[in-house]
Structure 1
Amino acid sequence: MVFPTGRRLFVVAAVVVVVLMAVAATVYRVLAPAEVSTAAAGAYPTAATPSPGLVARLPVAPLVVDGRIRVYAAERQVYADEPVDFKHRSTPYWSFRRWPAELEGVVASGHTVVTQWSDGQVVALDGRTGQIAWRAEGPVPEHDTGSRRTGAEVVWNPAGLFLASAADTSVVLAVGGDAMAGWNLADGRQLWQSDIRPGCQQAIGTSTAGGLVSVDSCSPAATIDFRDAATGAVTRWSPPGGGETLVVTPLGCHSGRSGCAGLRTAVGPGDDAARGWLFGPGEPVAAPVLDAPDTRLAGDVAVGVRDGALVAREARTGSERWRHEDVGAARVLAVEPDRVHLVTDSNSLITFDSVSGDQRSRFQLSLGTDSTSWAPGTAYAVDGYLAVECLRLPVDAEADDQRYFLTSRPVLLAAT
């Protein structure tokens, strides 16, 4: 074997160095932290007013923003399409991608879309253009590896990102494993940040009274903490009959788990002594009509199916406001402050006005030749739109996505 010597050795060494530098540069370009923002090219669409009925079948879960665009979540990307009532997912209207951070949550207020990422960054985007409105360093969230491919939990029910209104200010709230923080939605100015003991605080949502609600599980008896959204000041409350564990379910939320009007507490899963509560200026007020685990809160009305009838009662007094007999095996799929969405055993969607009980719309939840033999999964309703995942029967929560969902486009979007 002949080894290079002298000038030839120098040339070989130089070539090796150049190759290594090129490889290193390529690896850096591929793996280095990066962001790609693609702004909207067209005009912001006008708000749609579709007639009641199915408007779209989609592969992923949409967040309806400002009644004009639909926003979706991918592993490392948030993107939008339009118009809101287009029957398929279309070419992105705008897109924002980060690497290597993963998208953990998305919430929206007006035309502002707020995102939370696995590295703790909170990035607010102008939904009209897709451009960054502001960004902040927030607490690192506890990563959820169990999200399915529709991204429904990220856009419909994020675990660590919320909105609240306090002292005439709209506030973005982010929760991580060891801290909580709040920012002014309008300009991203940080309002407060509080350190928390890791593993002790479980965020539940935000209240109509302007507080971030969480369960402190590290006290001798589990308690509920209310943090003022504008200041972070904490008020602690112990529900009667509480123990070392406490299961809390938010009720009557405006979207996801933000802007909730009440909650239900139980000592543990399946607790027969669950109790319903309504938020107010002081401590939560008992609302026995909300005790039943299948009762929902729509505005100031508690609704549920009882003995084959859909019954609506005043949440504070329990007095009956309206009812519809003979709904059979139907169940309440979702509620809004002004609407109750009922799904029948044959997957017809019936929407009632929550105040008067008048029927607003009724139609079959199917598009084209889709089968009606499926089970509703996670559902979301806002501003008169309802979206629901279609699950294959029999439902197997442990199955992979191909078996779990009915089709490759399992999300139905309806106007009600």
Structure 2
Amino acid sequence: MGIPRGRRRLAMAVAALLATVAVAVIGYRVLAPAEVSTVARAEYPAAARPAAGVIGRLPVAPLIVDGRLRVYAAHRQVYADRPVDGRYRTSPYWSYRRWPAELTGVVASGSTVVSRWSDGRLVALDASTGRVRWRADGPAPARSTAVVRRTGAATVWNPSGLFLANRAGGRTVLTVTGDRQASGVEMSSGRELWRTDLPGRCRSDIGTTASGQLIGLDACAGPATIEFRDPVTGLVSERWRPPGGPNNLVVTPLGCRTGRSECLALRTAGPGDAGGRGWLLDSGEPLAAPALDPAGVAVVGEQAVGVVDGTAVGRSTRSGAEVWRNAGLGPARVLATQPGRVHLLTETNDLVTLDPATGRLLSRCTLNVGSDGTGWAPGAVWAEAGYVAVERLREPVDPDGDDQRYYLTAEAVILAAT
């Protein structure tokens, strides 16, 4: 005796409903917004003091935090490994993931690591444990059409719209900008200090000054003008144009401590690098600094360092007077700077580190590891805490090539201690 047709239809409807509910539950668990924090289970490592030379090679760009950890960026993850002078990348010391948001930038100050996400969320992590210190909602990041390469160098070494401003008394403000808004966030607590509307893509960010002001370039109404914004109040304190400067300015920050934060100077030019001029950033209006006019000159402390006819030359940024010269390096160019060090790269890919105050040689090493050789071109570069990391690109460089063609090897980043 069969099941009555009415009951059969009811049973089929119930089964279909249960299947739909099951699929919905599974879909929610897979696709629902989520975060996964895997904290450290080992002791916080001591700061390393490796001898000068190549430490190793890595597949992704490291941000060295607190002199103890290497922090990396992935598509939806920020994570750290140790030791800081390890030859290869190791298993994560801690990890933080979010879904479905994408990681757009990472900055660090002391033992605090702040990640920015595509939905505008800011998440601060304790570098020693990986635990969340605070969360905040910041401005939505600017839309970008730039290619995101596999090393993540742009995310950790030059994050768009994330700048640190150090104020008197050790107070650090994180300034966060997008297309339409900017805000200032207390680094220690995540408390929002201010938020303001921006005019759109006709305005761009340059960096922050050593005194903490946010530098912007406003081309929305009339000739391009440089603006300086107070990081604590968010108010524009000054608008400035170089005397006799072109209407379309190209502005390059110089002498920045990390990324484009805490910069000592600017270089302004017109399209095609026409009429380049250097300017020191003091508390008031920028001061003309002719020693910074040539492209390729770097600023470290009170010195402007460049290479002239194969000789490294240090000049006073204020007077332009020559302070030192080092003629024993061979053909080279300035690669990167950090407080107390200026790094040059020779034509044979030797990394030469000089004392910027005296020109004295601090270290020299060939940027080679294993059997990789030195037949490569430098890509993105980062220098801090006595370390230098360089992307190695396959020659001839093809900026439109895929990652396999673009990079020299799978472990494209070489890391050296200086």
TM-score by length of 2: 0.97
Structure 1 residues 324-354: Cα deviation after superposition (integer angstroms, max 9, x where no partner): 1153331111111211111111111111111
Correspondences of 1:353-392 after superposition (within 5 Å): 353-392=355-394
Following TM superposition, by how much is the alpha carbon of 1:142 offset from its aligned partner in structure 2, in angstroms?
1.2
Asked if the contact 2:246/2:269 (under 8 Å) is kept, the reply is: no
Question: How does 1:327-406 map onto structure 2 within 5 Å?
Answer: 327-406=329-408
| TM superposition shift of 1:355 | 1.1
Report the Cα distance in structure 2 between the residues aligned to 1:329 and 1:23, rounded to whole angstroms: 65
For the aligned residues, what is the CA RMSD? 1.4
1:308: how far off? Answer: 1.4
For the pair 1:408 / 2:379, whether they are aligned, the reply is no
Measure the CA separation in 2 of the matches of 1:202 and 1:102: 22
Between 167-176 and 220-229, the greater mean CA deviation after superposition: 167-176
Does residue 1:75 correspond to 2:78, yes or no?
A: no
Deviations 1:55-83 (A, max 9, x none): 12000000000100000000111000011
Extract unaligned runs of 5+ from structure 2.
none
C-alpha displacement of 1:224:
0.7
% identical equivalent positions? 55
What residue identity is the alignment partner of 2:411? R
Q: Quick check: 1:93 aligned with 2:93?
A: yes
Which digits, 9 at most, give the CA deviation of each residue in 1:206-264, with x for residues without a partner? 10021001101102111111111111120211222234321110100001011111111
State the SS of the aligned residue for 2:268. Answer: strand
Q: How far, CA to CA, are the matches of 1:58 and 1:132 in structure 2?
A: 26
Aligned residues: 414
Q: What pairs with 1:180-329 in structure 2 (closer than 5 Å)? A: 180-234=182-236, 235-268=238-271, 270-329=272-331
Where in structure 2 are the equivalents of 1:169-180 lying within 5 Å? Answer: 169-180=171-182
- 1:63-142 matches, cutoff 5 A: 63-142=63-142
SS at match of 2:7: helix
Given that 1:163 and 1:258 are in contact with CA atoms closer than 8 Å, whether structure 2 keeps it comes out as yes
Distance 1:242 1:218, change over 3 A: farther
For residues 296 and 344 of structure 2, the distance between their equivalents in structure 1, rounded to whole angstroms, comes to 13
The 3-state SS of whatever aligns with 1:12 is: helix
> Residues of 2 paired with 1:238 and 1:358: CA distance?
37
Structure 1 equivalent of residue 162 of structure 2: 161
Q: Is 293-302 or 66-75 further displaced after alignment?
A: 293-302
Judge conservation of contact 2:143–2:179 (CA < 8 Å) in 1: no
- Deviating more after overlay: 192-201 vs 249-258: 192-201
- CA gap of 1:3–1:311, structure 2 versus 1, over 3 A, is farther
CA contact under 8 A between 2:311 and 2:331: conserved in structure 1? no
Gaps of 5+ in 1: none
Letter in 2 for 1:223: T
SS at match of 1:273: strand
- CA distance in structure 1 between the aligned counterparts of 2:301 and 2:348, rounded to whole angstroms: 27
Other structure's SS at 1:372 match: coil
SS of residue in 2 equivalent to 1:90: coil
User: What secondary structure is seen at the aligned counterpart in 2 of 1:180?
Assistant: strand
